[in-house]
Every structure is written in structure tokens, then in C-alpha cells.
Structure 1
Amino acid sequence: MVFVELLSGVTQGYLTPLLPSLGESLHITPAGQTRIYLLSQLAFAIWTPLLAKLGDAYGYRRYLRISIALVAVGTVLMAVRTSLFTLSVGVVLQAAVVGFMPLLIGILRHRAPEQRRFGVGVLVGVLTAAVGLGGVVSGSLSEHSATLGLWAAVPVAVLAVVAGVILPDGAPRIGERFPVLQFALLAAGLVGVVTALSLGGLWGWTSLRTVCALVAGLLMLATWIVADSRATTPLVNMRMLTNPPVAIVSGVTFCLAFSTIGFFGANAIFLGSSSAESGIGLSYGPQAIALVALALNVFALGSSLSTATLLRRLGERYTLALSGVVIAAAFLSLLVLHETPAQYLVAIALLGFGFGGYQASTRALCVECVADRDTAMAAGINELALSFGAAIGASVVGAIISANQTSSGVTLHAYLWVWSVCASVALVGAGLGLCYRMRGVQR
């Protein structure tokens, strides 16, 4: 399982630092790079419910192996024949990594239920550390060749394929009919909403394209809810969506993903800004920025490994709330201390601890109050909450930065707003965490 999540982390972290140099060598415009990112986000939204439902119905190991194969094919394709077309196809195939965690949690719940919380903490720790490591390795390789960095994930893909072959099976298969209509409605709705969130900043938040994509997506989601609630074989158990523990954990995930993942882009801009020109920033180069990201993920590794212990000693409510409080403390410290590398790295350490803590705790708790047959889907809903929180957070942060940008760069006023908003949303997540109550498993 560690090798499987290692592939997930590397593939999620290695492409971002490569896109600028790949764009230059392959003559891909910034708009083309944006479309590659959008394809990835759309594929995430579609793969999540599809792989989760298929895993619950027809076997976690079977669809985990299929997911690994898809990611491996996309990884090798991008490295062997690099072009705009293969990059576009590759990121769609690689987006199947979104199924890894729900399917692995399904296997853990069946094979080692007493070790599930610790196991999830280990997997999340490996995932977060691998994201940072993938960026550092691919960035270093790309200094010699723009396409060489794409090979960073190939050996890891081979290891993951081998790991998938020898993994034990998960829970017995239900074998129920797959609800194609409900899936099509849900996928269409998610595509519309994700498109609006991803391109709203580029199109304009009040533009006709953005509004139409968002409204169409919401209408499709509403139609899906009606159709799924009346179906004899639903895609998602609607009782699960109204289950308070599941709803609260998803809310915590949304808020803390908004504050952390939504901020990562602005973090890179701040680190790379020249204090001599704009008056703020640390004047770091790409490699130094990648090392700071790696440091954040190393701190996340430490906190995720301790999550099972915290859940046992502090309880579920206080562990969820603690992650939100630590993340808020990181942003509040930046409001006061942000002028030197040491001051900034203290905040990065706090952010890493909170990041790893909520990633592990929410993924462990999201399945504890649902029936075995809904394990992967409950985990998938949590992954969607994370994706939407990150997308909306990045959109809000991007809008703040765009509104406070001058010819010399982003102003300090913009970052003060960004840090304040992220701290506030993190505190909302902490408050939701305090509302968590364990309940019996739904049947």
C-alpha cells in the first residue's frame, strides 16, 4: 500500500514544476498549460465516484489494480512520447490516482480493522511526503532537459504495479448493477462545477461562460439527487450524505483544504517574489521553493503518523479541531512575522503539521459511520470535498492577489488579506470538528 500511495504522491507533485519548461520546449502556450490543468481536475471529478462505486460493488483490489494500470500507462506515455497530446491523455489517466485512497481504505477496513487508523496515517504521510519529493526530483532532472523530469515517476509506477499484484483482496463483492444514468448525471454536474471553479478566474467570475457552466453543473447535480434518491440501485446511499458524522468530516475537509491547498499557489508566488522590487517575498528560485514545499510535506508526514495516537488520546472531536487551530495559527503568525526565512519557515512547519493531521484524521473518520458496502464511496465523497475546497480556495486566493497587483508585483496588502481569509476558514473548520459525534454504523 505504501508503494501505491508513493506513486499517487509523485504523480501529483512532479508535473507542476515541469509545466513552464515543458511549455517552452514544446511551444505550449500558457492557455494550453491551463487546459492541461483543467483536464486533470475534470478527470479527478469523474474518476472519484466511478472508481469508488465500482470498488464497493465489484472488489477493491480489482479496481485498485485497474487504477494503478491506468496511472502507469499515462506516466510511461508522457515520458516516452512527450507532446501536447500525450500530456493531455497522460494527465487524464494519471487522475485515476484519486481512487487509490478510497480503495485502499476499503481493503484496510476489511483486512486489518484494528489497524485502520494507523494505516491511513501511514498512507497519508507517504502521500504528502511523496508530493514534495516528486517536485524536487523532477525539478532537478528538468534542469538538464525539459522532458527528463517526466521520467521521475516511471520507476515508482513499476513498483506500484508490482505492489498491486501482490496486495491481498478486500471485502467480498456485492455485484450489484452499476447505475449508469445516475453516474452520467453526477459526472456532468461535477464537470460543470469544476470547469466554472477552474476557469472562472480566467473567464471572469460574472462572465456568461462561467455562470452557464456553474448553473448547468448545479442543475445536473440536482437532477442526479432526485434520480438517485428514487433508484432501486443508487449510485450513492443518500442516507450517507445526511449522516451527521460524514457531513461534518466532509465540512472539515472542505474548510481545511480551502486554507491549505488553496494557499499553495500564493505561497510559491510569495517565496519567489523579490523583496528588492516589490517590498515583500524571499527571492527564492524554483529549487529553493521546491525544498520549502518538501519541508512542509515532511512536517505533514510526522503529524499524519501521530494521528492515530491523537485520536485515541484526545478523541475525534479535539483531533479534528486541533488541525484547524494549528493551521489558523500558521496564518495568524504570518500576519505578524513574515519578513525573514526563519519566520516564514516557522509558519510553514505549523501549516505542515495541520495539513498532515487533517488529511489523516478526516480520511480515517469518514468511513467509520457507514456500512461496509459504502466504504469506498464515503471515502470518495471526502476526496471530492477536498478537491472542491482546494479549487474554491485557490480561486478566492487568486482573486485577492489579482485585485491587489501592481506593476512591481503583488502587494503586502494582498497577502494580509489572503492570510486572514485562510485563518478564518481554518477556524470554521476547527469549529465544525468540535461538532463531531461518533454514531453507530448505518445499515
Structure 2
Amino acid sequence: MDVRPITEAELADWNRALNTGFLREPTPTQTVLDARRSQFVPGRLLGAFDNGLPHSRLRSSGGTPIVATYRSFAQELTAVGGKPVPADAVSNVTVTSTHRRRGLLTRMIAHDLAAAKDRGDVVATLIAAEYPIYGRYGFGPATWVAEWAIDVPRTGLDPRSSGPEDGGRIDLVDGEDVRKLGPDLHERLRRAQPGAVSRDELWWKADTGVVSLLGSPWTEPFYAVYRSASGEVEGMVSYTVDDRWGDAKQPLNTASVKWLMAVTPAAERALWRHLCSIDWVVTVKSGPRAPDDLLPFFLPDPRAARITSQADWLWVRILDVVRAMEARTYGGQGSLVLEVADRDGLTGGRYRLTASAEGASCAATTESADLTLDVGELATLWLGDESAVRLAALGRVREERAGAAREADALLRTSRRPWCPDMF
């Protein structure tokens, strides 16, 4: 079997294999193929080709059947402190059920990560469908998400409230408004949110129904914008509402948030309260949020919001230890020698990290190590979410000098948890 970049002429077969791997209707529509062509970058879409298959429904154009898919694209990831670093975003990874356990993913990911390293990407990123897969390739879970369900009648909010109490206002808008206002608002958010990633024009078109990447019917959501008292756009939400009624004509409707972004706590509070004030809505589902989201405490009774899901989200693979460690800021002052193991040989070695509020330097050294860890564990620590002390207790970080893990936490951990608002 060959693993190589596909040509644009092979895109239909590649998309058929992608749909098959994700258990979707195999044959892509022309609309989906048109959208996929806009994502086509030579060398960034990979396929595994089975030359031994005489006939397969995975082949529609007469070429060799594609039995595994992989796509990467250029992305920026916000490090602690707000600096964006170039990232190799990994997506659309599938292996057809008939071709598992043959090393196809290993070959595709090795090809892509080597190319990303050569391009100068600092990290690779992905959202893992299954937990056990990507740790084998040096990725570590770097952000987590939680989802809440709000029991609106229990919130204690005044149902007679007519809008924000801070002088701001909320307006319902349409998709065209979102495409105009959303990108700038998102840029402001991601520059301040460690773990956030960039969005391109196609993201906004897909989210507002202009293009379709999945082929499934698109349901137009509601969009609401929060403007401050000065008229500046500081928040936006996209949500859908179902249509359920109980006995005696009692409304049982649920508002499901697709995404909510805000650059101020006032905007965030106003948008959640708007959702909880919609007539007939008795439940609000938050969608994926940061695990330490302020949402419950915007409500008079925080117990009205219960967590319904909590899981790993963004996984990071460090490709350049020096640039990654120097890109972020640090909460304290100190110095550590890190022994970083990388069995794939893309990065790794022994480094001295010296950090303070003024900046950081990271350089190779021959000094004795303070901490020994795998490159995946370093990724887990890099965005500030995990504790080196916890990882040491789990046997995933080894202290070579007593107290080094606690010192690492003082340097690396952040006051608020990192969060990636996007699925890709």
C-alpha cells in the first residue's frame, strides 16, 4: 500500500473514503466536493492507496482505492500570554475498517509531522475522536471542555427582565451580519485566550450555511450580538431551539448553544441571561465551554447549571521545544532543566528553561536534569492546564531533583484554564 499526497483529481475518492471512515453516507455531494476543493492544498491531503484491491466501492473514478485519509492545514494557536504560534492542524483522519492495524495512520502522521517540522511549525494540533490513539505520536491533551445544562426556572433570574442592566444591548442578527462582525470579534478573543485557534473565511461560511462540508441538511440558527453602552460589539452567540410541549400546553423547549464568544465578562453575562430569558425555553444547553467557565456564577442559583459532559479537547504535539517554551509567558521566576524524550526524533533533548515576567529563554544544555518527561507530557503542561506534581504522582513525569515538579507548577500553570472554542 502506498501512502502519499492525493491529487485534486482524486479528491472525490478521498472524500468517499473519509465519509466511509466516519460512518457517513459514502458518496459525497457535489456541494461538499466544491467546498472540499477550496480546502485543497497540494501536499496537505494524504491518502493510503491499496494497489491490491481489484474492485472496491471506495473507488469511483477508476483509480486505486483509497483506504485511509488525512488532512492538515495551516493554523495559529495562542500560547500563554497571547502570542500566536504556527501550528500544523490535523483533521479528517480515518482508516477504513477493513484496513486497520496495518500501520497506515503511523505512516501518514509521520509524513505530515516531518513536513510540518521542515516548514517551521512550532506545534501540531488536533481534536481526538478517541483518547488512546495520539499519545503514541507525541501528542498530549492540552485543553479540556465542559458542557452545562441550565434549568431555567431554577436560575432565580427575573423573568420580567428586558435586557442587559449595564447599558448595553442585545440584537438578533443574520448570517451576513455574523460574517461581517464575527471574524474581528473572534480575533480579539483568540489573542487573549490561551488554547484558542485561528479561523479562516471558510469557517464562517460553513457556520452560516453558505457552504457545506458534511453534506447533512443545514438548520439556520438564531444569532444574537451584544453591544456595550458605547456601541462596540463585545459578544455573540449562535443557538437553535427545539419545539417541545408537555401536557396542558406547558412549554418544554431547549435552546442549544452552538457557540458563544465574548471578550468581556459583561458581554458573557448578558448573553447567557438573554438565552435564559427567551419565552418557552426551560433548558439551555451550553455547548463546549472551558472547564472553569464563569457560566454557573452568572446565575443567582449556580446549582441551576449542572455539568453534563467533561472531556479532553485540544491535543498538542510540540515540534520545537525551544520556540514553544520561549513563545509563552510565565507566572513566576525560576529555572529548570528538562529532559524531554521524543521517540520519533522530531524534537527532544535536554533544555534549560529560564523564565521571569520579562521573558524566557530555552536552550540545549548538558547540565543534570531536574525533570524527565515525554514530549507529550510537556505539551500537556505547556498551555498551563495540567500540574507537574499531578503527573509525577501518576508516574508520567519523573523528578530528578526534589521539589522540581512544584517549581514547574509555579512557572507553568495559569490562573485561568486554557480553552479551545473550536472543533476542526
Taking structure 1 as the reference length, what is the TM-score of the superposition?
0.23
Query: Which of structures 1 and 2 has the bigger CA Rg?
Result: 2
Structure showing the higher strand proportion among its residues: 2
Task: Give TM-score scaled by structure 2 length.
Answer: 0.24
